Amino acid sequence: MSPGLAPSPRILVIKLAALGDVVQAFGPFQAIRDAHPDAHITLLTTKIYADFLKSAPWFDDIWVDTRPKALAVGAWIALRKRLMDAEFSRVYDVQTSDRSSGYHRLFWPGPRPEWSGIARGCSHPHTNPNRDHMHTLDRQRDQLQMAGLTNFPEADLNWLQNNGTSFDIAGDYALIVAGGSADRPRKRWPVERFAALCQHLMARGITPVLIGGKADQNATALIAKATTGVRDLTDQTTLSDIYMLARSAKVSVGNDTGPMHLIAKAGCATVVLFSDDSNPSICAPRGDTVCIEQEPDLIDLSEDRVWRVVQRCGGLS
């Protein structure tokens, strides 16, 4: 039986963004589903992740967060009505942002569901004073333990294997993720260094495969222009495609950006490059195949140093 709840409860899970955080919530999603096997579980998320997660085994329904503006009274009333009409008995807020915590207030004056998160007055608050200094995975697990969950199995990712596209890449290849948030340029290793790294890979008979979204096309186009023989799949892959490509790749190299979390989940040898703009002890992908290389300013991180890490992490030496 679900912890603290009647049989067949209705449960809401909140996880809005971003990609790396969504991927790191796969474990909590699995733990929540295992703790409530008979529950009707709804995920509240953003549109891109709604489409991505619709085949996942953890949810019976997926709602898209409309993100009402502060003065959009009608939209807030509609969201409140939808939440109240659903008669949720428990909410797991694994976003724990100001916005997601604010949704707790929409249940005023009640009845309010049990709520795991950091919203003021919630029934199952995550009260660890060190939560802001914990790795995302540790923080989420600690939060769920405080809500009564005790089992934390590995997430079932078989659903990802059924949704990928075949790109027919012959021979050994490496995934290169040269993009990242446009708002945080310090998290990006210089494009010319990625191009030099691609030349090292091709000298070993490994085809560099460039992946990223539309916003990354300028960076990947420069790499493709400077390095004959790369395969450029920028803006051609779904998130499931990235996972499937990673399952067969020799190694992956990229900035601290969302796709690297998904690649690491596939068990691919994964080299992630960090500046001091983010803290790997809090947000880096984890796993036996993950290698972290950090330099306060990525402009000071040489291609030779990264190539040595790639050789070691990918077993190429």
Is 245 a domain residue? yes
User: Using an 8 Å Cβ cutoff, are 45 and 158 in contact?
Assistant: no
**189 lies in the same domain as 111:** no
Domain range enclosing 48: 10-156
pLDDT exceeds 80 at position 162: no
**124 lies in the same domain as 259:** no
Section 199-216 average pLDDT: 96
Question: Distance between CA atoms of 271 and 316, rounded to whole angstroms?
Answer: 13
Section 129-154 average pLDDT: 97
Q: What amino acid is encoded at 309 in this protein?
A: V
Confidence (pLDDT) at 4: 63
Q: Please name which of 85, 84, 89 lies closest in space to residue 110, comparing C-alpha atoms.
A: 84
Percent of the chain with pLDDT over 90: 92
Is 1 a domain residue? no
Question: Distance between CA atoms of 51 and 54, rounded to whole angstroms?
Answer: 6
Convert the pLDDT of each residue in 61-79 to its tens digit.
999 999 999 899 999 999 9
Strands (DSSP E) contained in 229-289 are 231-232, 251-255, 270-274
The CA-based angle 34-247-163, given to 5 degrees, is 65
Question: Domain boundary residue among 118, 138, 156?
Answer: 156
**272 lies in the same domain as 167:** yes
Whole-model pTM: value is 0.93
**186 lies in the same domain as 81:** no
**238 lies in the same domain as 296:** yes
pLDDT exceeds 80 at position 166: no
Confidence (pLDDT) at 27: 98
**229 lies in the same domain as 189:** yes
Q: What amino acid is encoded at 57 in this protein?
A: P
**In whole numbers, what is the pLDDT of the chain averaged over residues?**
95
**132 lies in the same domain as 199:** no
Is 189 a domain residue? yes
